[in-house]
Structure 1
Amino acid sequence: MRVVFTVASQLFLSTIIISQLALTATCVRTAVNVTYSEYVGEELGNGVSQWLGLRYAAPPVGALRFAPPRDPLSNSEPQAANKHGNWCVRRPGNSLTSEDCLFLDVYAPTKATTKSKLPVFVFIQGGGFNDNANPNLNGTGLVKASSNSIIVVTLNYRVGPYGFLTNGPQVVANNGLRDQRKALEWVQKYISQFGGNPDHVVLGGASAGAASVAYHMMADKDGNRKLFHAAAAESVSFGTVLTVQQAQYQYDNLMIRLGCARSDAAASLACLRSKTQKEIADKDGDIPYPGSSNGPIYMWSPVIDGDFVIDYPYSAFRNGNFIKNIPVIFGDDTNGGSGFVPDRISSLGDSNQFIKDQFPAITLSQLDTLNMLYPNPNASICPRMGCWRGQAGSVYGEMRYMCPGLYLNDAFDNYNDQYSKGTSSWAYRWNVEDRDQMASGLGVPHVVELNALFGPTNMWYTGQVPQSYFPGGTNAAAVQVMQGYWVSFIRTFDPNTLRCCGSVEWKAWKSGDKASAQHQRLLFGTGGKTAMEVIPFDEGLGLRCKYLQAIGRSLLQ
């Protein structure tokens, strides 16, 4: 591994050396006491130990269904922590899923002690707030990539109506986000028992998990909670954000479908809580946004509740209402929208309707401008099934993912220039091509880099991991390169300090504090290649993002 020392990293390296010395002390026992319970984990025999299925909150069932998370219940007997906890989904159908799903996993060096104070990486999975899309991610690969010098925490949180149903004062909004905060508070209380440093936590996430990172930044705009100290997020998602009042139609329609329509709100909620998960799932269809024709891809999502979420993401980050003075990484994939667009998109009208279904506030004028900014290269061969799919995917991918991520890079860079010299914002584009994905027309799809971040053998759905990422594959080197940057960032708050394998210096988003400074991001290429690329202001992606960011607030993003 190539080590690149910078002046800004010396204090971090000193801390690392002290932490490494602490590893020589007596090992943490596999039985760890977290006050309310004793959990017995297991050593894996490779220098890593794991504790699986740790409760960070009480089961959200019965009277706690649709309620904010509560403290976990106490157990007098030691609890085996060698199996993943159930994960949360919107609809049942898998034996691994349950409403009782508020669990987290901890992966730590076997030699870590309560005095080790190792950096901690907490990762929030995605799923559009409607599913747990990346459950049971195995943190072992990242711990080993760090030479056993970090701790990784992954978690489940409520999704669909269980996490994002609201009904004014009767049902507290954004319980899925509150679950995540509960898990972060758990880390602050107990991670030292596993060898972690609660004052050195890097928050990560992908897709809805990356959006969650942004929401936690907004919710702690004054930095008083101190639940994390840096962030690295893949494909931040800015979807349509409704107010509690605007989202009332979702609650009302579900009540009607379940036969729970009551004039008394408390009685309506009691009826809902009496229904089985299957009964709810059978009636929980995607209802179109008012003013749209078809149900959106993701109907249940965070709402503005005046408590946890008090503003639209674009407005909050434009006005400086977010936690500042922390180093951040935001990035996206080249074809982040390709996997979301249905095959039926075969005309300009289909494409526009698809965007309207996801962003109901969009106007005809705005659609007209988007049609000019995103011409269809396949228009000459239309009509043909799916011939506008690529165009719709480009619009959706940049509108929902890529341009919001770059906006966050801008927001942090601008405020850090003013308030915290030396704190940086880094951007990236994942352009690692897999032969099979390219042949299928997906290109480089949404959050495919998770396979590199955690390692291809550490995904719960290993059968769906691109073959090129496995050892001996054409993109095996990309795994080592990405893990090198991320481990460096987790340990030192700088992706360059410990980067590996001849990878390029990852320069900050702006090469200076002047308005004319170039925007630049790291380009991850096929086979582990890396380079820096500049994004021009007024052409190509820069021009398109400039427009999408300007209209984002009017689209309720």
Structure 2
Amino acid sequence: MHSSLLLLPAFVAGAVAASSPLALRDLGGPPTVTLDSATVIGKLNGSVVHYLGIPFAQPPIGDLRLRAPQPISPFTGTVNATAFGNQCIQQTFPNLTFPADVPAAVGQYLSAFVTPAPVPESEDCLNLNVIVPANATQEDKLPVVVWIYGGGFQAGSNAVFPGEAIVARSVEIGHPVIYMAMNYRLSAFGFLGGKEVKEAGVANLGLLDQRESLKWIQKYISAFGGDPEKVMIWGESAGAISVAHHMLANNGDPQGLFRAGFMESGSPAPVGQVDNPYLQTTYDTIVVDAGCADSANSLSCLRQVPTGKLKAAMDQTPTFLSFKQLNTPWFPRADGGYIKQEPQHQLISGAIATIPFVIGNDLDEGSALSFPTLNLTTDDEVLDYIQANFFRNTSRAVVANVLNLYPQDPAAGSPFGTGSNHSYSPQYKRISAIQGDFFEQAPRRLFVQQLGNRQSVYNYLSEIDQVDGIGAAHGTELTNIYGGGDMADYLIRFAATLDPNGDGAPAWPRYTTENPALLTFRDRVPFVNVTMDTYRIAGMAFLTQLSLADPI
């Protein structure tokens, strides 16, 4: 899930004085790089150079729809990389309406989650952006940060966030990096489930798109001055979940494609198999709605229907803002191939990449995404909702313990620390706390507990840039990072040195089970301080116990 540029404070991407631009073919010409036998033309913007919309795989159109991405052919001729490429097909979201007592800022914030970037949508969307310091040379071998956008695996684009801000800031603090962001297929085009999909080996295509872009980096990033051995994959929400799943992929072998990870509000998700009954029902419904019910090979039929017809069928499926349906069919899931096991079980087995990583959450992960449940007002309705959406195969009596651990007390709910304020319904703050912990906080805690004594782990909590009415909601930390705040500096140092510390910043200790340190970012003094990752222990432990036994 993603925020919009509208949520970011104003800043000047070219705040750093530009040095002599790299790869100017002549003193007055545009910046260029050579890929294979092609000249790729970029665009100078202050202290950085943009190379935008570069294809990294064959267009997944025609018979390549619903198939793994195919490598790009060698580049030839001239490639104009001065404008964003197409974004992938986006899922349509329901119109948002709120009770009168919900602050206007909430609607503005949530609208930004689902407002597409102002670039064309197309199935021909597998392109990437490379943004480099203007004075970089091929000999520099700069670290590479690879941004994977969020959007619930249903929306998002590499055109949403200003990568030039990260690059300019990296130059300013003396740790120059290169920024890359790819597009990947979404919803039914990228994460279709069902037994037909699993048997054909075409599950988790959006993850495979991301992986193909990492292979592109290994082949081409040195032409931009990057070091293919110093790649950090980084994402928020769906992007962070993607990072975690790449750590799990191939039984934990990163195959030299990345050396570190940075995850904002995402970790191995509490999900099950790609052919579970819920996903099979979604597949079957899409087959019917796309007009493929009578086909002898429904998957082949889906490859042949017009794009608009498949999108229309996809748009009838739940989104993360649909009524009572935060659990959508569009998460990556175990497929027996790329992701061998159910993610949390594979984590526990130890089949995961042994790389250093940073991971964290916002304080109020569930607050922005729980408004579709406002009509749930009684304990029984909340219990029905939790069981139907998250623990379908667990007895009602067992699931009822969740309500004991998350009481109907507004002062204990999310947004946390607000007393009885922002109680938009009798159960809203309770559901917000449960959903934030189930999807975000508890999986992160399991992740760091499993790996904190095995590899370098840095853990954080963000309470910054709060939104009136929903607090430090899902995605609020992005304002700090893309706005050049202290989180950006920690990220840049980690990408460059594999240690977020330095430059006189407050010390960020490693997480271990003996010392579950949590660097906490706040809007008040001290703005950064170390706390302990020990809040809501009983509630999160029980949610984890249930999700391991009954993944979604």
TM over 0.5: yes
Find the counterpart in structure 1 of residue 509 from structure 2: 507
Find the counterpart in structure 1 of residue 363 from structure 2: 334
Is the Cα contact below 8 Å between 2:143 and 2:231 reproduced in 1? Answer: yes
For residues 418-448 of structure 1, give each alpha carbon's deviation from its aligned partner in whole angstroms, at most 9, with x where no partner exists: xxxxxx21110000143xx13xx21110021
Find the counterpart in structure 2 of residue 475 from structure 1: none
Distance 1:285 1:241 in 2: 23
Find the counterpart in structure 2 of residue 138 from structure 1: 162
Q: Paired residue for 2:248, among 218, 231, 253?
A: 218
Find the counterpart in structure 1 of residue 501 from structure 2: 496
Instruction: Please tell me the residue identity of whatever aligns with 1:243.
Output: V
Distance 2:324 2:407 in 1: 24
Find the counterpart in structure 1 of residue 95 from structure 2: none
Find the counterpart in structure 1 of residue 425 from structure 2: 386
Instruction: Please tell me the residue identity of whatever aligns with 1:261.
Output: A
Q: 1:132 to 1:362 in 2, by over 3 A?
A: farther
> Greater CA deviation, 221-230 or 397-406?
221-230
Answer yes or no: is 1:518 the counterpart of 2:515: yes
Q: Paired residue for 1:165, among 192, 198, 207?
A: 192
The 5 Å alignment of 1:45-64 reads 46-64=46-64
The 5 Å alignment of 1:357-376 reads 357-359=388-390, 360-376=392-408
Distance 1:75 1:151 in 2: 21
Is the Cα contact below 8 Å between 1:288 and 1:357 reproduced in 2? Answer: no
Distance 2:387 2:533 in 1: 28
Q: Mind listing any 5+ residue stretches in structure 1 that lack a counterpart?
A: 1-22, 417-423, 456-478
Distance 1:125 1:363 in 2: 36
2:233 is paired with a residue whose SS is strand
Q: 1:24 to 1:481 in 2, by over 3 A?
A: closer
User: How many residue pairs align between the two structures?
Assistant: 482
> Greater CA deviation, 172-181 or 82-91?
82-91
Find the counterpart in structure 1 of residue 67 from structure 2: 67
Q: Paired residue for 1:261, among 293, 301, 323?
A: 293
Percent of paired sites with the same residue: 29
1:219 is paired with a residue whose SS is helix
Instruction: Please tell me the residue identity of whatever aligns with 1:203.
Output: I
Is the Cα contact below 8 Å between 1:287 and 1:294 reproduced in 2? Answer: no
The 5 Å alignment of 1:91-240 reads 91=91, 96-132=120-156, 135-147=159-171, 149-166=176-193, 167=196, 168-170=198-200, 172-223=202-253, 225-237=255-267, 238-240=269-271
Find the counterpart in structure 1 of residue 540 from structure 2: 545
Alpha-carbon deviation of 1:191?
Answer: 0.7
Distance 2:20 2:451 in 1: 39
Find the counterpart in structure 1 of residue 11 from structure 2: none
The 5 Å alignment of 1:385-534 reads 386-416=425-455, 424-434=456-466, 437-438=467-468, 441-455=469-483, 479-498=484-503, 503-510=505-512, 517-526=514-523, 529-534=527-532
Alpha-carbon deviation of 1:297?
Answer: 4.4
Distance 1:224 1:134 in 2: 23
Instruction: Please tell me the residue identity of whatever aligns with 1:367.
Output: V
Q: 1:245 to 1:397 in 2, by over 3 A?
A: closer
For residues 336-373 of structure 1, give each alpha carbon's deviation from its aligned partner in whole angstroms, at most 9, with x where no partner exists: 01111123232223333433343134432342111011
Distance 2:119 2:356 in 1: 40
Distance 1:233 1:214 in 2: 8
Q: 1:549 to 1:245 in 2, by over 3 A?
A: closer
Q: 1:407 to 1:241 in 2, by over 3 A?
A: same
Distance 1:374 1:140 in 2: 42
Alpha-carbon deviation of 1:549?
Answer: 2.3
Alpha-carbon deviation of 1:410?
Answer: 1.7
Alpha-carbon deviation of 1:546?
Answer: 2.1
Q: 1:329 to 1:362 in 2, by over 3 A?
A: farther
2:151 is paired with a residue whose SS is coil
Is the Cα contact below 8 Å between 1:137 and 1:154 reproduced in 2? Answer: no
Is the Cα contact below 8 Å between 2:152 and 2:331 reproduced in 1? Answer: yes
Instruction: Please tell me the residue identity of whatever aligns with 2:544.
Output: Q
Find the counterpart in structure 1 of residue 284 from structure 2: 252
2:171 is paired with a residue whose SS is coil
Instruction: Please tell me the residue identity of whatever aligns with 1:414.
Output: N
Find the counterpart in structure 1 of residue 274 from structure 2: 243
Distance 2:472 2:388 in 1: 24
Alpha-carbon deviation of 1:388?
Answer: 0.8
Instruction: Please tell me the residue identity of whatever aligns with 2:145.
Output: F
Is the Cα contact below 8 Å between 1:192 and 1:198 reproduced in 2? Answer: yes
For residues 377-411 of structure 1, give each alpha carbon's deviation from its aligned partner in whole angstroms, at most 9, with x where no partner exists: 14999xx9622111111101011111111222222
TM-score normalised by L of structure 2: 0.81
Q: Paired residue for 1:351, among 382, 398, 420?
A: 382
Distance 1:190 1:57 in 2: 13
Q: 1:224 to 1:143 in 2, by over 3 A?
A: closer
2:454 is paired with a residue whose SS is helix
Instruction: Please tell me the residue identity of whatever aligns with 1:555.
Output: D
2:473 is paired with a residue whose SS is coil
TM-score normalised by L of structure 1: 0.80
Q: 1:407 to 1:38 in 2, by over 3 A?
A: farther
Indicate the RMSD between aligned Cα atoms, in angstroms: 2.8
The structure 1 segments of at least 4 consecutive aligned residues displaced by more than 4 Å after TM superposition are 23-26, 92-95, 285-289, 293-297
Q: Mind listing any 5+ residue stretches in structure 2 that lack a counterpart?
A: 1-17, 25-30, 93-115, 412-418
Instruction: Please tell me the residue identity of whatever aligns with 1:369.
Output: N
Q: 1:306 to 1:37 in 2, by over 3 A?
A: farther
